[in-house]
């Protein structure tokens, strides 16, 4: 959690955009449209890639829409 907060503070602007438009951003990030964001897909957003493992709460190696939505809750 501490790491997430540090990264969020450092990169609040780009993440704020992601958090405000989770549906749009999820679709953009999910390039193969399988409903999950892999680490490779997350790398298109360097900030998201940095917090990927923190957001992957079930540790399956993918971010679900719900897990990405947690990012918005942390910022709000």
Instruction: Examine residue 32 and tell whether it contacts Ca ion (CB under 5 A).
Output: yes
When binding is defined by CB under 5 A, the residue of 23, 24, 34, 66 that contacts Ca ion is: 34
Size of the site for Ca ion (CB under 5 A): 4
Instruction: Examine residue 27 and tell whether it contacts Ca ion (CB under 5 A).
Output: no
In DSSP terms, 62 is beta-bridged to 38
In the complex, the smallest distance separating the C-beta of residue 62 from Ca ion, rounded to whole angstroms, is 7
Report CA-CA distances (Å) from 75 to 18, 24, 34.
10, 17, 26
Instruction: Examine residue 60 and tell whether it contacts Ca ion (CB under 5 A).
Output: no
Q: For residue 41, what are its two tokens?
A: 């897909």
Rounded Cα distance, 27 and 10, in Å = 24
When binding is defined by CB under 5 A, the residue of 19, 30, 42, 63 that contacts Ca ion is: 30
């Amino acid at each position: 959690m501490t790491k997430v907060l540090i990264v969020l503070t450092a990169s609040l602007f780009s993440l704020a955009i992601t958090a405000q438009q989770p549906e749009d951003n999820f679709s953009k990030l999910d390039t193969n449209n399988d409903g999950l964001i892999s680490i490779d897909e997350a790398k298109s957003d360097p900030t998201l890639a940095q917090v990927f493992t923190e957001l992957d709460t079930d540790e399956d190696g993918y971010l679900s829409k719900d897990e990405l939505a947690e990012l918005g809750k942390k910022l709000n």
